[in-house]
Amino acid sequence: MIVFDLSCHGGHRFEAWFNSSAGYADQRERGLISCPVCGDTSVDKAVMAPRIAAKGNQRSGAAPRADDISAPEVCVTTDIAMTTSGVPSEAAMRAMLAVVAAKQAEMLPKSHWVGREIASAARAMHEGRADTQLIHGSVSPAEAADLHADGVAALPLLVPFVPPDQAN
């Protein structure tokens, strides 16, 4: 697996994991990579610092594990360590991502996988034609934009996961 820092033409930066550089190129070419903030599929690799592993006899400043963090129902904080440019520090970002990952890991088992049928299932729920429940699935950026335009509440999962029908 390889991780790339990516950025959309809207200026949002995010990370994504791929099997290889060729896997990234293939997914980008097919329009499968989109910005998790704005949905833009015009995504390019961003400049990133190399990840150099620490020596085996030294402990690095590892990110907190998701099970080490107690995630409240709503996470609001005002004591985030900021850098001089006014953005959260790397440690603060890692902690926030760990909270998001923990919350997503908690919610996915309570949610029903509907796969590519999520747009129609979400519309049915929105229109009161189906039981309200937690669902997750897969939509194209265009389908997500249509849901948003119609006022259907739908959000992307922020932490990548393997869909149940693709797990081995």
Q: Do both 72 and 103 map to the same domain?
A: yes
Q: Do both 101 and 118 map to the same domain?
A: no
Tell me how many domains the chain contains.
3
167: in domain: no
Reference 43, options 119, 116, 154, 141; nearest CA is 141
pLDDT band of 53, cuts 50, 70, 90: low
51: in domain: no
Q: What is the pLDDT of residues 87-132, one digit of tens each?
A: 777 777 888 888 888 888 888 888 888 888 988 988 888 888 887 6
22: in domain: yes
Range of the domain at 78: 66-107
Question: In this structure, how many other beta carbons lie within 10 angstroms of the beta carbon of residue 3?
Answer: 11
56: in domain: no
**Residue 74, pLDDT score:** 38
**What is d(CA 47, CA 166) in angstroms, rounded to the nearest whole number?**
31
163: in domain: no
- Classified as helix, coil or strand, 82 is strand
13: in domain: yes
Look at 4 and 82; give whichever has higher pLDDT.
4
Single pTM value for the model: 0.44
Q: Do both 103 and 116 map to the same domain?
A: no
8: in domain: yes
